[in-house]
Each structure stands twice: as structure tokens, then as C-alpha cells.
Amino acid sequence: MAETGRLRQAAPAAPLIGPVALLRTAIVLALLAIWEFLAHSGWLYRDVVPSLVSIARAIVDLLSHQEYYYNLAVTSGEIGIALLIGGTSGLVVGIVLGANRFLSKAFEPYLYYLGPTPKIIFLPICIMWFGVETPSKIALGTVSCFFPVALSVAAGMRQIDRVLIRVGQSFRAGTMQMVLKIYLPAMRHPIINGVRLGFGFALIGVLLAETRLSNKGVGFLIMQADSTFDMPRMYAMLIVLFVVAIGANALIGRLGGLDSIKRT
């Protein structure tokens, strides 16, 4: 009878909005309210913090012009090629250093030392080597994303469960088999994390290169807006750029299955 009674109970109504979404909405609304308050407070110089309405108008204006999509495609292409070259080489170097303690001790310190160098300083060299056109931007993006990928992969290699490696060795797996069957699957998440970080670095490298010396790309458009002090347009471009960057970042994580990581 008790069982029947429990079955007859009406299921509790699911909340329309979950607590996470509620908190997110509250944070976003609070930030927007602070922004609008600052825009009208007069505490900052006029137009430094433009009103949300003018930024929204600028976003609509930006997205309705084909020019922006052309420049976005140019920047995306440069970032994609940089990530491909820098990510692949970083992966190979990371696996080699992570698998071999001798090579790791010999060369990894230099990666750590070169890793934090601000890559924008290599722009004059990239321009000298590759010219003022697209290749110099790709080169800077490649150099930028190589280090985080290599360091993340090398660290990921060392975190692989020794049992998995012994299993591979006991099956007499070759080097390529070890890489494909043991190392890569076991460190999928560090690799994807590295690629995500590498993507961020490549994006920064390419955009900074475009802001410095370029006649196309999103970086060039942002500097154009800055030089004419068209702040709503600049904010619009930053917002769209951030959304695109965040979307691409989330896509990399989703494709790599990072959202499936279970935490205890």
C-alpha cells in the first residue's frame, strides 16, 4: 500500500530556471547595471564607457556590413593555420619530452624559460623573415601557441598512469602504437587543455600583429576604430570578437570531450 501511495504522488514541478542559470543571470544583470551606471555617472571621460544602447546599435551596424566578415575570415584563417602548425609541433615536442626523462631534463627548462617571453617582441623579426603580409601574422601566432601546447602535453605525459604504460610495454607495443594507443588517449584532456590555451595565445599573437602593422583583419579594424575614437564601434568589435573566441574555445573543449570530465 505504501508503495502504491508513493507512486500516486505527483512529481514535484521542475523549476523553470535552474539555480546555475539563475546565478548566471543575476551576475550578468548586475554587471550590465554597473556598466550603465558608470556610463551615466560622469566619473569617467565621455564615451569611454558608452551606454548599452549605443553599443547595441554599433553591434547591429557591424554585423550588417560584409566588410567585417571579410576581415574576420582573414583573422580566423591566420589563427587556424598558426594553431595547426604550432599545435602539431607542440604536440610532437611535448610527447618526446614527456616520454624521455633525459631529453626533458636537457631541453624542457629552456621551454619553460622561453614560454613566458611575450611573443609580440618577435614581431619585428617575423616581419623581417616573412614580410609584412599574412605570413608574419601566422608566424607570430605559431610561435605563441607552440609553448603552451608543448608544456601541457609534456606535463600530461608524466601524469599518465604508469600501469597503462606497463600494459603497453608488456604487449610489446612499438613507439607509434604506444603514442596512438596509450599516450594520446590517456592524455586527451591535457592535450585539449593545451590546445585551448594555445588557441588563446595564437589569437593574441595574431591580433597584436594585426594591430601593429596590417591593412586587414579584426585587429586592423579595432585600431581603425580606436584611432577615430569611435568607442561604441570598438566595444562592438571587442564583444563580437570575444563571443567568437569564447565560442571557438568552447567548441574545442566540447569536441575534445572536456565537458564529460567527471569530478568527485
Q: Which of 37, 70, 112, 171 binds other proteins (CB under 8 A)?
A: 112
Write each residue from 234 to 263 as x if it is in contact with other proteins (CB under 8 A), else as -, in one continuous string. Answer: x---x--xx--xx-xxx--x---------x
Of the two residues 53 and 106, which places its CB atom closer to other proteins in the complex?
Answer: 106
| Distance between CA atoms of residues 31 and 49, nearest Å | 13
All 3 cell numbers of residue 219? Answer: 585587429
Question: What would the grid cell of residue 233 be?
Answer: 564601434
Q: Is 34 in the site for other proteins (CB under 8 A)?
A: no
Q: Which is nearer to other proteins, 5 or 42 (CB)?
A: 42
Which residues, other chains included, contact 30 with Cβ-Cβ below 8 Å and sequence gap of 6+? none
115 scored as a contact of other proteins (CB under 8 A): yes
Q: Which of 223, 230, 236 is nearest to 47 (CA)?
A: 230
Contact 201, 144 (CB under 8 A): yes
Give yes or no for a contact between 200 and 249, defined as CB atoms under 8 angstroms apart.
yes
Binding of residue 119 to other proteins (CB under 8 A): yes
Cα 166 to Cα 170: distance, rounded to the nearest angstrom: 6
Q: Does 102 bind other proteins (CB under 8 A)?
A: yes
The residues of the shown chain that bind other proteins, judged by CB under 8 A, are 19-20, 23-24, 27, 44-45, 48, 101-107, 109-110, 112-122, 124-125, 128-129, 144, 147-148, 155, 158-159, 196-197, 199-201, 203-204, 207-208, 211-212, 219, 222, 226, 234, 238, 241-242, 245-246, 248-250, 253, 263-264
